[in-house]
Amino acid sequence: MTPSTFLSRLLLRPFAGTASMSVTEPTTTSSSTPPTTTTTSTPPPPATHTSHATFAAGCFWGVEHLFNKHFPGQLHTRVGYTSSAATSPPASAPAPTYAAVCAGRTPHAEALRVAFDPAATPLRDLLEFFFRMHDPTTRDRQGADRGAQYRSAVFWADGAQEAVVRDVLRRVGGEWWGGEGRVVTEKTNGSLSGSFVRNFPPLSRPSEEEEKKKEVGDGKI
């Protein structure tokens, strides 16, 4: 794919015949938190954000940044690790950690869970942007990030979302990527295992002696 072809994907060309849709909020299936991580303290999504969708497209921090930049103020986002219902470990298994996922010891992918208001931001709009902001034709890789945890994937919450995912994927393959068979995006149901931040202790503060030395070095005293 040439740079100009890739850039054309980012020009936000709409599909022909884009339709509106409504979906329902999925149930959270995992509330456990791994011992090496802690859940983020972000506020819950607004009451209008009744729908959720989960996307994997490489490094989850980059994916989150691009979605929030393109849909400013419209989304409530969390990053974490997810896998399909068919490949998820048993409920008794420990929650995934960064080290375990990177080592390939779990079937999880780095993912972004988006809460949104389907009346204001239809799932179809999110999906179209998702297929513009990454390369869905590379298996287990995005750019320099290689490994199954960086695979392209969409995880739907219910049958209504599944229908829209499959329709958009068919159009993406036929209209943008030269055939649906070229798109290797995993498409299945699944749920985010958790939103994780390293559980480091607070950083130490400079002592009075260190502050004094700094002021001396700066010529303040």
CA distances from 26 to 49, 143, 145, 148, 187 (A): 12, 31, 30, 25, 16
**pLDDT (tens digit per residue) in 74-104:** 999 988 888 765 555 666 666 777 888 888 8
CATH number 3.40.50.300 is the correct assignment for the domain at 34-201: no
**pLDDT (tens digit per residue) in 110-141:** 999 999 999 999 999 999 999 999 999 999 99
For residue 3, pLDDT beyond 90: no
From the candidates 59, 100, 160, 184, which is the catalytic residue? 59
Number of H helices, E strands in the chain: 6, 8
Q: How far, in whole angstroms, is CA 128 from its chain's centroid?
A: 14
Give the whole-angstrom CA distance, residue 128 versus residue 137: 15
pLDDT for res 17? 28
CA distances from 102 to 40, 139, 145, 183, 193 (A): 21, 16, 11, 24, 16
Asked about 102 being catalytic, the answer comes back as no
User: Could you tell me the residue ranges of all domains in the chain?
Assistant: 34-201
Long-range Cβ pairs for the range 171-174 (8 Å, 24+): 171/15, 172/131, 172/136
pLDDT average, residue stretch 144-152: 90
Q: If we measure between CA atoms, which residue out of 161, 167, 190 comes closest to residue 84?
A: 190
When comparing pLDDT for 61 and 215, which is higher? 61
pLDDT band at 106; cut points 50, 70, 90:
confident
